[in-house]
Structure 1
């Protein structure tokens, strides 16, 4: 794999994004209700053109590397803005990857303007890490080649649920067929039989359940081919997994910078905390891990953009290392700060609640290790 480094223009863009997020987006995030969709924040992301960076002008997914730079930079200054943007990308990503021209025209414009909220509905009460085990039933509604379906069942742990404007839903069209019998549908809010409830989570994200009581979908709602939905889901996750690592890296860098500043000014034992070898070595170890995670994330994204093989393994490695590193970095920063970091409203208290979820969603760390191990023996 060739050596990787950012261009000067890319580094400048990242700095500008950090500043923009702190100045324009942080106040909107602070004014929002935690755990609820912040439509004012989404509108600002649209007006600033940041949501538009999720997709190319032709409606296809944008550069994976640009997505990583965007997510890392926003995460450093405003995790709420990063999450709002990322969820729009994840929810509408299948439309960009597998949708028709009409579906792209209908939804991507609204999503990138921040007027429509998108959701990626894959996980179920009995199908989390084992996504191929999903059981949401898509029963044929009528006979003949042009028939539609009725969706019955439930989804859970769905970001932006239950108040999203459109759901990308993965349903079982062939019973007992595992990953081969899954179909993807676009389901707009307001369909008869569509419901759900919000869930109160540790992380301050909008998350909820989605229930389907015979919800009607038609051929026009199909995303890709019948029984090809699992491939749509995996292609979407392969694109977004490195960028989850970028989100984690942004949080890790914010925590590291806070710890470095605190250790350099906090007086203790006749000097500053950084004069203690235990503290300085911990900071050095964290800085090394954060840089390693960042490079692995960028390299995985660049390989995706070049169309190189072995993307699932690269994406898994990037997500695994970055999310585990972020957990360690935030925990170390909390330890260096002491009790002050546990106070509600402190940056590190916020990051401590934010950093736990990425090790689970879009494939838990154990799933990433299984993907990597499988590739080692293939």
Structure 2
């Protein structure tokens, strides 16, 4: 049977920007392999036509929008949804509740929608009052006009059940278990601290930067990430890196193998994300066997299930946990093995892709 799906709400394919883009890089080729006609909507300049990671069976469409922090998601979601409504795929996979405003367009076109609601965006500290209102309203529209929801964490599912009375499918993110990768030049295996995060307040970046000043007196500190828009946190990391050779700021990395290597050889990986459900960076770090120190949140507890150290979002607590782990090779090994086992058991990309396909097929069947 011929099956077609439009994927709306990411920066495109293949893109390396964030969790949605990572999921689409795995899911789109998988669906194409299963015989789907797959179209991924994206933004001009967010992907490279000559990217070696591109599967030629995946169709891509770029639409117009406004590339600003506050309205980019809404503007690109609007134009992508209009295009998809005319193309009339069998089903649409929509990422992010901000696109909930445009779901009626799909409904009128007879296209059922599977919506990955992401995290609780209206709780994020990076958004102002108006943006939080927009996201919360978008969630209400999603709850009303989306055909079926996807939750990447059980805690997110519980929140949506409580607030909107909706069930849905629990489909987390996955991780690749890599082979042995070469150590980054200038670093020692299990002797450096690592943070990988977008530079936003709820990812505990400021607290880690403060802790890094003390950590750099006894270990290398590697920081991967940026805000994408400049700002105070980037300025602070740049200044710290310039002043101390043991603090290495690598910015945003699109080289998957290099990032996997950093996780695989880290002595302590700090994961400070506090909202958003199952975080793909945490799952991938676990699949690489990184010894994890994570901010104590309901989401991180759910994913780790004891395979990591939990700390409060305080610079002193973070630094103390990193120092203790770097000085305890036996605990490093135990956490590494536990994280890898947990990732293999519950967070494989094959399992994730199979669940997405099953949910999409069910919507077509109901249609």
Shorter chain as denominator, the TM-score bin is: under 0.3
User: Which is richer in helix?
Assistant: 1
TM-score (norm 1): 0.27
Q: TM-score, normalised by structure 2?
A: 0.28
